[in-house]
Amino acid sequence: MSFCVVSPLPPASEVRPSLGFWSGVALLTGTMIGGGIFRTPASISAVLPDPVLIIGLWVFFGIVCLCGALTLAELSTMLPKTGGMYVYLRAAFGDAAAFVFGWLYLVAAIPSGMAALAVFFAELVLGMMNISSAESPWGIPLLAIAAVSFLSAANMAGVRLGAAIQSVFAVIKVGALVAVVVGAALSGAGEVSRWLVAEAPVAAGGGWPAAVKSVLFTYNGWVYIGFMAGELKDPERCLTRIILVGTGATIILYLAANLSYLYLLPLAAMPGTVVAKEAVRVLAGQPAAAVMGGCILASVFGSLNGVILTKSRVAYALGRDGLSFAWLGRAHPTRATPYISILVQGVVAIVLILLLRDAARPLRLFDRLTAYFVLVEWLALVFGVGAVFVLRRTMPHARRPYRTLGYPVVPAIFVAGTLFGLAALLWSACSQGDFAPLGGLALVAAGFPVYRIWRGWAGRPAEG
């Protein structure tokens, strides 16, 4: 099939507003609170045995995320269209930047993120069944494919169904974290001194550059609600509140959860474990830890659903605007879902799961899928949030129901803080011989010549 630029599709094929304030908050918090907060504390403790530095990283990047969310509130209410960052990038930097962003999401960030969450879900299922990856080398990929297939089908069936699934699992995952926090606060079973005393000397470089990747991976997701601005009821009134309430609550919950983990468990006991389960074991014994394991499973499942639900809107917007295959911009005539883009990203995710499977080391699949995900995703966010500087200058009279608090300092903090974190991540990976993040940068750079080629095939001169 050849590339083509087409006229807009008829109104019957457009997505329709169907999400309110609470479903939007559930979508945002449910997507942010995924597998990260349950998985990454163990990884962080393995490279950074200092609780003050650990909490410092969570606070620092929490502030960075909040600054990004405050900026996003202006952009998303100014341009409340389905597609989120893609829409802002196109308005600020032109078609080329928008194409590269959408292309990266379609061929790299979305499928790898989906596949990684599905693989983590599969690992948890096998763990609960006491089946090792060595005993069932195909268990992880097959379960991951099943999860991607089921949730893709559910979200193609209707946005209300996808949002309902998200709301249910958001309640479960938030409830699980709140239970740990409240239980720790009331139990008296831990030691406050663990918040302040390092259990081992911090190595040269502090170990914090390696920990940055885990923190950023966990915080990822605060931007996703912007992808669905066109499907919110009264977005100009409720979108700002959704972003601030959802992001703020998640940051507070993350800090409280980490303080609870450190209170209940020594840092030396965290590496190689599911920290939340171990914390619950200290609080209430093995049966309660098993229940927590089920809640973590639900959390990862809900997060995967949120990624499928929200990120499919990028490819949809790309197709609608004639910057990709026309059929990517089609919505189902009766169910009002971008069913083709959901199907395509699901198929690519499944292909990645199969291609990157390591028969000798099945547990390596998750790491291979996430090797450059964080770098590509957050680099795109730098340019997306940075669009506010350009649009303030090029569209000074545009209607802005919300203006970023503390502009220009607040968006500058996000841009500078994120670039600092990505530089640390890149340095840490390369110093350990892992050059996969460089592949992500190469993919970003390759997008621009691909855009020029695409425009030539489409019969139009390159723009932007």
Q: Which residues of 320-336 are buried (b: 16+ CB within 10 A; e: fewer)?
A: bbbbbbbebbbbbeeeb
Averages of pLDDT over each 10 residues, the chain, 464 residues: 33 55 77 78 87 94 91 84 78 87 79 86 84 77 94 78 65 84 89 81 65 87 66 72 84 93 91 86 89 85 79 74 70 71 88 83 74 81 93 92 89 96 87 75 81 72 52
CA-CA distance, 422 to 374, in Å (whole number)? 8
pLDDT at 197: 78
DSSP of 107-160, one letter per residue? Answer: IIIHHHHHHHHHHHHHHHHHHHTT--TTT-TTHHHHHHHHHHHHHHHHHHH-HH
Q: How many helices (H) and strands (E) does the chain have?
A: 17, 0
Give the amino acid at 425.
Answer: L
Number of other residues whose CB lies within 10 A of the CB of residue 122:
25
pLDDT value of residue 2? 32
Structure tokens at 19: 């999400």
Whole-number pLDDT of residue 201: 58
Dist CA 401 CA 236 (whole Å): 6
Rg of the chain over Cα atoms, rounded to whole angstroms, equals 21
Residue 343 C-alpha from the chain's centroid: 19
Q: Take residue 382 and report the two structure tokens written for it.
A: 């730098």
Tell me phi and psi for residue 19, to 5 degrees. Answer: -110, 135
Q: What are phi and psi of 64, to 5 degrees?
A: -60, -45
Domains and CATH numbers, the chain: 11-458 (1.20.1740.10)
- Per-residue tokens: 93: 């930097």
Q: What is the pLDDT of residue 255?
A: 94
Q: Which residue has the tokens 């659903």?
A: 305
- Residue 426 token pair: 């890149």
- What is the pTM assigned to this prediction? 0.80
Q: Given the structure tokens 């840490």, which residue do they identify?
A: 428
3-state secondary structure of 229: helix
CA distance 61 to 65: 6
